[in-house]
A and B are shown apart, each in its own frame.
Chain A
């Protein structure tokens, strides 16, 4: 990466995870002056002029009143706090101190330098500190130590959660924490060297007078668990504990035992956090403030913070690079550190080594498990993919393997493990790196989930808090999230710059491989028991879905194709999914809200990821996540939640809608939540249906359908089916018909799902499963899907799309785009807040609309079914679709599901929510099972219908063409709208329109978004395809597709393709939400995908334009974030306490009513002797007088000396 990018990235990281966080700091009574610093001050002669660079709230400015103390901090908030104490304060930047040379008698740099993201910047800071120091003047520098008694860091670049203590409670907490920290500090520091390899290298370091005792590998290992444990701690309290949480707890316990720390490791972590906070003072004013450390706080490791590593990975792993760019800080840092600092040993060459090791480990694991790993252009990628697949399939196995690999000194693997437990956004983001290792992906997913939970918690708290909380959110979102997003964007842009194609290829290849494997495995398993596998392997479930779609396709046309082909298709699908997943992972980082992480701001997720990641995933996403995550490791989790833990997803969903209902403010969230619920249901249903279909199709239906379809369309089906469709298309220039058929199949599945969804109430009324499937219905299905999809999507997708369009239309430059994104986010948040009352209604309306859509879809399906003649069906569909759209907008026609959801929301809200969710999940599962059975029965009929539909396909295609035209018009209109109004405004408008769903315009808009989403989907699909195929063929296909889209003449084909894409995307995603849910899923996935991409694009301004699709994705990100927030809120509601600690910065915006908001601060934890080496090598005019370990920090007291240079 260009140096500029690095700088920009590091700056963005610091802004999002240091400065923005410290701006949130308040008076922190906890922070006590460290005795040794006090002594340092007291030893200064009277009348000395000193500056505390990074004074925070100025706790060291009054230690010695016989000095002239100048406090400097970059945080205006903290500066104000310090100023209120009658201190002399200046707002300064450590890198550009506004002091004359040699004007100060002493300088304090307490907990500042560790907030700088690159070695180069740390050196600059040290040199600047030395510059202003007079000859003979003394400086005391403290930086957070990597080796801490209570915390262990796998990498040096970490995002450490910081919980904003409640104002009332904070003092006590702070005190306790401080006391604990002080005690800990006093205690002989544990040798926390977790990184055995790097540690050994690092051991060179030196001088730190106080060394931590042995750095045993065991400890290092324990560290990992510790990390995991930290997340677990958060989960401990949460009632919604998942398996992950349990694992985390167990790990934590184990870690605690290993650590031998008397205190619960939570406390340790807390203390460490507190220590951190103390150290933080320097860089950011607020550091000293209260740092309430929650057990839940688990540091998120950033890799590749330093530049060196980043570029490498980027080349090899574009997607990973994106993530890694932002979050790779840790590893990258090590590399960069080595290069820049020369402290290679100290710095940790690990970053590079670990990645390799990880890759190796992954490979090993993958090889062992999935020997099938397809050779990717880049071995690493392939490995990663494989590993991912493996991980998905065999999470448990992978974990242990990962652990081993991690032991080998893989911070990433550690991160993965830890991230899983901790669910920290950062880790998730690092998960992007996961591409390299599946485990990471899984961890990211987990982290995302955790993050979502956190975010949800925060949001929930906010909701409860009401507007004040909202305002907090706004501030958070606007600042931290935007920053996170920017960070993420930068990372993405970097990766993109390196090679978007490469990224795609890598991801696709890796994903493909993994997916293919998964699919293969799954196929074998499907025959036996499709449902079980879903429940068993969350990841597999999405893959299953995909597989199902593939199988279906295969069934339809696959009779010709062999399993291998299936595998290919699956692989393609998987690749798409994987791409989606990768996106999601990125998003999660963002969540970036998050992550970064994130933060975040954030958005991360970074949030990213967000961190944030989980929430969006949950909402949309439980569906999209499931698919994506499923493909990778993450998907498994959602599915697992849904299927086995159906309660979990359901709970999330339910909770999300509930919060929405409660808090009208979060319209987006609320609608999303319902959508997510629906999606989840749909997904489940779809999965079930697909499984059923697959079973049926595989056995009987497949043959029949395949015969019907396959004869002419077999290749088409293959192509159309899933991502592979694209590739297939390339090969055989797939006809739209084929794709349509496959799509039809998918649509059928979707319809089935939809039926199932509404089915709670609607199913009994309508048992249209057979109809759903009918390929002939494809036209109608497409229409319905497209339209309903837009509707559903409209919630999430709309904004992003519009945003994207806006950004594109406005041709906003990358920086601007970032700003716009941020603004959008903020706007979104604002809109949410502004429309709280309306939001309630809106959310309800949205839910209703969703339900309506589902109903309408079902109805349409029924009608279609009823109208055995497909011509009629088509007509009906077209008309019905439109009507459906209108209906969907009509809030009056609330589907039973909605009502149910509403009821649940209203009633269950707090404690009951869980029960309701669980019940709901159980019911859903039962219904799904029933539906599946029905489906199977009807499937034969459907197949027949589908066979008939073939002749009608042409007509359908015509209709599709018309629809496509309409969609184009809509898109144009949308574009105009977007141009006219800022993306934010547009978003709000869209929401308003949605609210006024009854209006035809809204319907059009919805269609537009759907169209857009389709386009996006197509593009995404293309990307995914490209990535999957890597080969030129994919590009050709893409170009073809684009051409088709562009050319109205080939509108039909394009529409079909687009629809197929959407469908394929959905199917690929393994999104159970077919039909309307599919669209949502697609949009979600797209948005996620775009999110990551957009972030990347945002980062790289030039790239920005290139990745138009990404822009919309970015825009989508906002809604995703919102959705995430909703999810998080829901989750939070369910288990506020538990997740609070987990919340990433992205979630930060949500202040906890009762608890503290969790922020993540970036730290570069120093290894023993690292600071000394930096000073000795790069700041020659500082002579180290003493070096010691105190308060979990490495402290150096140095004196400026005259350096004679000849």
Chain B
């Protein structure tokens, strides 16, 4: 699971959960895979991302590195920033671990890089 995906995920569909975002990450196995860098693509993704959540998520798994806490202005032209964002968004892959609902503590397992977000019927 890439962090950009995590940036989209919520547990709000659970009963009793109003926001369910962001999900906490408990990473057991994280790997980085090199992905072709496409500045335009990244620059288009950045506005769709909750940057603070991304940073906290990267930090929680120890991959914050030197990612700026704030989206720099004119990032479209800041290749260095875009590369950093690229790495955090697309190259960090959580293979095994858990996503934890911030409100209920419900754990969603991540196996083989695939988070299982299925809910039991009694959780809906």
Contact = CB atoms under 8 A, between A and B. Distances in A.
A100 interface: yes
Contact of B1 (A88, A92, A101, A103): A88
Interface stretch (B3-11, B24-32, B54-62, B65-73): B3-11
A11 B121 contact: yes
A79 B114 contact: yes
Interface in A90-106: 90-93, 95-101, 103-105
Nearest to B117: A98
B9 A90 contact: yes
Interface string A708-721: 00000000000000
A80 B112 contact: yes
Nearest to A95: B124
B13 A91 contact: no
Interface in B52-88: none
Contacts of B114: 76, 79-80, 83, 89-91
A47 interface: yes
Interface stretch (A66-74, A786-794, A848-856): A66-74
A281 to B, nearest CB: 17
Given A70-B5, A70-B8, A104-B8, A47 B116 contact: no
Nearest to A51: B8
A526 to B, nearest CB: 55
Given A93-B119, A96-B124, A99-B9, A68 B21 contact: no
Nearest to B115: A90
B38 to A, nearest CB: 7
B96 interface: no
B21 A46 contact: no
Contact of B118 (A45, A49, A68, A74): A74
B113 interface: yes
Given A47-B44, A88-B2, A99 B8 contact: yes
Interface residues of A, number: 31
A259 B8 CA distance: 48
Contacts of B44: 45-48
Contact of A92 (B38, B40, B48, B118): B118
A80 B114 CA distance: 8
B118 A93 contact: yes
B41 A88 contact: no
A822 to B, nearest CB: 17
A96 B118 CA distance: 8
B45 A49 contact: yes
A99 B43 CA distance: 21
A91 B118 contact: yes
Interface residues of B, number: 32
Most buried by B among A76, A95, A96: A96
A83 B5 CA distance: 14
B63 to A, nearest CB: 17
Contacts of A95: 124
A89 B113 contact: yes
B10 A68 contact: no
Chain A interface main SS type:
mixed
Contacts of A80: 112, 114
B113 to A, nearest CB: 6
A981 to B, nearest CB: 30
Interface in A10-36: 11
A66 B38 contact: yes
A940 to B, nearest CB: 67
Which of A88, A104, A128 is most buried by chain B, counting CB atoms within 10 A of its CB? A88
B101 to A, nearest CB: 10
A1118 B117 CA distance: 34
B8 A92 contact: no
B121 A92 contact: no
Nearest to A74: B118
B32 to A, nearest CB: 14
A47 B112 CA distance: 25
Which residue of A90, A97, A98, A100 has the most chain B CB atoms within 10 A of its CB atom? A98
A46 B117 contact: no
Contacts of B112: 80, 83
A498 B21 CA distance: 44
A47 B10 contact: no
Nearest to B43: A47
Interface string B11-36: 11110000001000000000000000
Nearest to A82: B114
A47 B121 contact: no
Interface in B89-107: 90
A68 B49 CA distance: 12
Contacts of B124: 95-96
A185 B117 CA distance: 35
Nearest to B93: A88
A98 B41 contact: no
Contact of B45 (A68, A88, A97, A100): A68
Nearest to A73: B114
A90 B108 CA distance: 11
A90 B38 contact: no
Nearest to A70: B5
B117 A90 contact: yes
Interface string A1-12: 000000000010
Contact of A88 (B5, B116, B118): B5
B11 A98 contact: yes
A98 B9 CA distance: 5
B117 A100 contact: no
B98 to A, nearest CB: 14
Nearest to B11: A98
A181 to B, nearest CB: 29
Nearest to A100: B10
A901 B123 CA distance: 55
Given A70-B8, A92-B117, A97 B1 contact: no
Nearest to B2: A88
A43 to B, nearest CB: 15
Contacts of A79: 114
Contact of B5 (A11, A45, A90, A96): A90
Contacts of A11: 121
Contacts of B10: 98-100
A100 B8 contact: yes
A91 B10 CA distance: 13
A103 B41 contact: no
A46 B46 CA distance: 12
Contacts of B41: 46-47, 66, 68
Contacts of B115: 90-91
Contacts of B121: 11
Contacts of A70: 5, 8
A84 to B, nearest CB: 9
Contacts of A49: 4, 8, 45, 48
Contacts of B21: 100
A46 B42 CA distance: 9
Contacts of B45: 47, 49, 68
Nearest to B109: A91
Nearest to B35: A86
B17 to A, nearest CB: 11
Contacts of A97: 13
Interface string A996-1037: 000000000000000000000000000000000000000000
27 contacts: A47-B41, A47-B42, A47-B43, A47-B48, A49-B45, A49-B48, A68-B45, A70-B5, A76-B114, A80-B114, A88-B2, A89-B113, A90-B114, A91-B115, A91-B117, A92-B117, A95-B124, A96-B119, A96-B124, A98-B11, A98-B108, A99-B10, A100-B8, A100-B9, A100-B21, A104-B8, A128-B13
Given A46-B41, A47-B42, A76-B114, 10 more contacts: A66-B38, A68-B45, A83-B112, A83-B114, A90-B1, A90-B9, A90-B114, A90-B116, A96-B14, A103-B8
Interface of B: 1-2, 4-5, 8-14, 21, 38, 40-45, 48, 90, 108, 112-119, 121, 124
Top 7 nearest A-B pairs by Cβ distance?
Answer: A47-B44, A96-B13, A98-B117, A91-B116, A103-B8, A100-B10, A98-B9
